[in-house]
Structure 1
Amino acid sequence: MSARVLRAVVVVLVAVAVAGCGAGGERASGGAADGRVTVFAAASLTESFRRIGKDFEAANPGSTVTLNVAGSSALANQINQGAPADVFASAAPANMATVTAAGNADGAPSVFARNQLVIAVPRGNPARVTGLADLSRSGVKVALCASQVPCGAAARTALDAAGVALTPVTLEQDVRGALAKVKLGEVDAALVYRTDARAASADVTGVEFPESARAVNDYPIVALKDAPNPAGAKAFVAYVRSAPAQAVLAEAGFQAP
């Protein structure tokens, strides 16, 4: 091989190597779902999103999912006040709307799950609660979520549909707070999501009631406009809507959108 030909071959190999490095750099910085993905999620998604987060990490080596779970209204306020987050998953469209109205969503939210209320009672149901009307009986202590929280708004809709008026002994800032009151024996009943009662089935029983069909909550999710990891945010949103993640949600008791 002549020196001229050898030099030409070397130039071509170097160019190919450089192009390959550039393509790899683009995948790492633009298209790959790696790095930390911070997800603000409604409290009722805690167990499901922990599992989905682990599955996402396994499917996207180099990624780490960090969950911040709380009431949807509190999370929406945090996002609108500038808290760094990549994804918001709300338990109701109303709380998502406060984020989109503030211009903090990257695109339109999509509904990925639905949820219904049950009456959570301690194991054995000592107060013999069988429906919403029983919650208004004298001496029955009830916990509800605050009205600005999705589970509180849904509870009010269901109670109004049943024509039941009651005064709760406590108003909690998320569904986990209401459920905890039942688990601790501080109340006789609480209106919580079916999924939360199922997750706590060792301690509580979920009593179904027909009016819950009037208060079904849609769960929307969206990548956020100022996401520190925009590629990871979009990848996580897509994964939540994928068949493996939907199977996790269905196992937890969520309904398909």
Structure 2
Amino acid sequence: MTEDSDNTDSNEHNNERTEEPNIDQDLYLDDSDHASWTPSGPIAELPSEVFKKNLLPTDSRKFILQNEPKNRNISFTPPDMDRKVWIHMSKIAKDHDKEIRRLLYRFSAAIRPIDNSLRLIYASKPEDSASQETKDAWLQLEQTTLNSRALVLDALSFGNEIRKEQALRSISPGYRKQSEREEVFGEELPEIIRKENETNKLFNDAAWQKRRANQFRSPRTQASNNFRNTSTNSSSYKGKYKNSSYQHYQHKQGNNQSGNQSNGGSQNRQSSA
């Protein structure tokens, strides 16, 4: 591979890496929520930058967790990577998986205050005799808290899916996650490919058998042709030899007869003399 091609591949790879975040950002920044609201009062004093400058000191985080009892039915420890996969992962992939695992563990703590809020909500459920306005407010508070819990669980599951993808890409670089978009073939594609492979295999096997049969038959046919050619050449050679010998024999016989006639004439002349 030439240096130019290496640079081209590198540039394409860099472009892919720089374009992907932009595409994702466009999706995230596409805010179609027209029911957004502007905070006021105490809510306006809360941090609005949610991705930075909000790291808690260790003591503060510890204090919050101590005052937010956890649900005993929940294990806040992210699952371990499967051993069969872990032993085949590269060191970089292992380190990356550890970082994601730490992030998931830290984020899962958000479930604790949400569940404690739900405990208080269900403990303060209005009586049947309460006004409809009170009941509606309670239902709204319950649903909002449940929505918060669902979004936290969604993010945790999403993080676990990232761990799976990273691990599979580490042991199989050609791995690609199945697209969630609607596609032309969709779920029918694997079955179509399987049938096509079976059909092609039958045709390929038939062609292979035919080629194999031709390979076995060709030497015999060639040998037969060679034998016929040899026989033809041999008979022609012998026939030519026989004809030339016969002509030589006739010529010799003719010479002998002429000689005898000459000798006989001489003898007759001598006798008459």
Same fold? TM cut 0.5: no
Indicate the structure whose relative CO is greater, using CA pairs within 8 Å and at least 6 residues apart: 1
The structure in which a higher percent of residues are helix is 2
TM-score, normalised by the number of residues in structure 1 = 0.21
TM-score, normalised by the number of residues in structure 2 = 0.21
